Amino acid sequence: MNKIIEVSELTREYSVKNKRKKEIKLALKGISFDVHEGEIFGLLGPNGAGKTTTIKVLTTLLTPTSGDVKIMKKDVVKEGEEIRSNINFMFGGEKGVYGRLTIWEYLKYFACLYKVPISEQNDRIRELLKLVELEDKKNHKIYTFSKGMIQRVHIARSLINNPNILFLDEPTIGLDPVVAEKIRVIIENLSRRKITIILTTHYMKEADDLCDRIGIISQGEIQVIGTPKEIKGKFSHLNVFEATCRKIQEFSLNEHNLFKQVKVHQINEDLYFLRFEVDNSQSYERVRTELSKVVEVISLEQKELTLEDAYINIVKVGK
Ligand SMILES: Nc1ncnc2c1ncn2[C@@H]1O[C@H](COP(=O)(O)OP(=O)(O)OP(=O)(O)O)[C@@H](O)[C@H]1O
Ligand SMILES: [Mg+2]
């Protein structure tokens, strides 16, 4: 498999001023991972884990403090310019749109900036507008657009130089579920065109559906790398259950050593929804019997372990 991104022992410090004293914050503590050509690679992790910092280093917006980062075999520090012509990026929730321009003018501006040959510009822009389904809006001024449409403008802009690698930092943040799904379909279509995509997201279902492989990062360190299936497989010793019940005593539930990662949602005055994990050595009957000792069980069902379940277990251990 062709490694298009190679990250080795990457560290990144920020210097933070605290009451006139300078402090060093180590945002990345020596992370290593590779991304293969053509794959969608997901970077997941809690707020402040170091995802955006990683993307900024990989896109040459920030220099590494130490370590080695190669993009298409080129060094991010020494060969930044060559790298920049082959990549592009989009940060979710970006404001940087020139609202007074029409989307056509906006893309034309970036086409010139990226030195797309003039003879190719119009075709490229037309193709991109089709991809993000904004052809009918090409002469509309961007300030009239909704958040979801602006996000699609950003995606079109990030493809203007025909990049081999596209970095998407939280591309669906703040979007309604229908628009978010639209963006996911666009990402899938891009991947079919063999563009390598590095994606960060806080939506585990999105990562599970889209990503070929995932790296989970926490407090500046990579905790695990693998396919979504491999990552979920690490928790095959756990079974997940969902129950509806009455007369809940949360204290007894959390104290019971059989039930782990207990989540409780109140449905109405006396009805509750529970989700929890138990060791897979426990039978359904045993789980039901033990649960009945602390709540009045109305229904109990075994569920498949999700990427979110795996993620929570990994990130908790990482803390
Ligand atoms: N410009 C900066 N100056 C100082 N510290 C920073 C700066 N940018 C980020 N940090 C710190 O570095 C760490 C990593 O931040 P980063 O933005 O990379 O996290 P993230 O994983 O992208 O988080 P989120 O999910 O919230 O976007 C955090 O502790 C953050 O506070
Ligand atoms: Mg971030």
Instruction: Answer whether residue 61 is part of any domain.
Output: yes
The pLDDT value given to residue 317: 67
Instruction: Answer whether residue 81 is part of any domain.
Output: yes
Whole-prediction pTM: 0.92
Q: Are 118 and 253 in a shared domain?
A: no
Ranges 19-23, 56-60, 171-175, most confident: 56-60
Beta-sheet pairing, 74-75 with 66-71: antiparallel
- Give the mean model confidence (pLDDT) for residues 279-293: 93
Average pLDDT, the chain: 93
Q: Are 78 and 200 in a shared domain?
A: yes
Q: Are 79 and 101 in a shared domain?
A: no
The CATH number of residue 272's host domain is 3.30.70.260
Ligand 1 atom at minimum distance from 217 CA: 21
pLDDT in tens, 28-41: 999 999 999 999 99
Q: Which helix (H) or strand (E) holds 90?
A: strand 87-91
The percent of the chain in helix, strand and coil, each rounded to the nearest 5, is 35, 35, 30
Q: Are 113 and 248 in a shared domain?
A: no
Percentage with pLDDT > 70 across the chain: 98
The pLDDT value given to residue 204: 96
Q: Are 77 and 154 in a shared domain?
A: no
Q: Are 135 and 13 in a shared domain?
A: no
Q: Are 211 and 276 in a shared domain?
A: no
The pLDDT value given to residue 249: 72
The CATH number of residue 55's host domain is 3.40.50.300
Instruction: Answer whether residue 232 is part of any domain.
Output: no
Residue 103, domain extent: 92-162
Ligand 1 pocket, CB under 6 A: 14, 16, 25, 27, 45, 47-53
- Ligand nearest to the Cα of 31, by number: 1
Ligand 1 atom at minimum distance from 52 CA: 22
Instruction: Answer whether residue 180 is part of any domain.
Output: no
Q: Are 25 and 52 in a shared domain?
A: yes
Ligand 1 centre and the CA of 220: distance in Å? 10
Taking each helix axis as running N to C, give the angle between helix 118-131 and helix 177-192, from 0 to 180 degrees, rounded to the nearest 10: 130
Q: Is the pLDDT assigned to residue 19 strictly greater than 90?
A: no
Which mutation among 53, 57, 90, 204 tests ligand 1's pocket best, with the greatest number of atoms within 8 A of CB?
53
Give the contacts of 233 (CB within 8 A, at least 6 positions apart).
Answer: none
Please tell me the residue having the least CA distance from ligand 1 atom 2.
14
Ligand 2 centre and the CA of 198: distance in Å? 13
Q: Are 267 and 123 in a shared domain?
A: no
Domain count, the chain: 3
Q: Is the pLDDT assigned to residue 49 strictly greater than 80?
A: yes
The pLDDT value given to residue 251: 64
Instruction: Answer whether residue 138 is part of any domain.
Output: yes
Ligand 1 centre and the CA of 279: distance in Å? 36
Instruction: Answer whether residue 270 is part of any domain.
Output: yes
Instruction: Answer whether residue 184 is part of any domain.
Output: no
pLDDT in tens, 99-130: 899 999 999 999 999 999 999 999 999 999 99
Residue 46's pLDDT band (boundaries 50, 70, 90)? very high
For every residue of 259-308, DSSP letters joined together read -EEEEEEE-SSS-EEEEEEEETTS-HHHHHHHHHHHSEEEEEEEEPPPHH
Q: Are 78 and 199 in a shared domain?
A: yes
Q: Are 122 and 155 in a shared domain?
A: yes
Q: Are 117 and 72 in a shared domain?
A: no
Instruction: Answer whether residue 182 is part of any domain.
Output: no
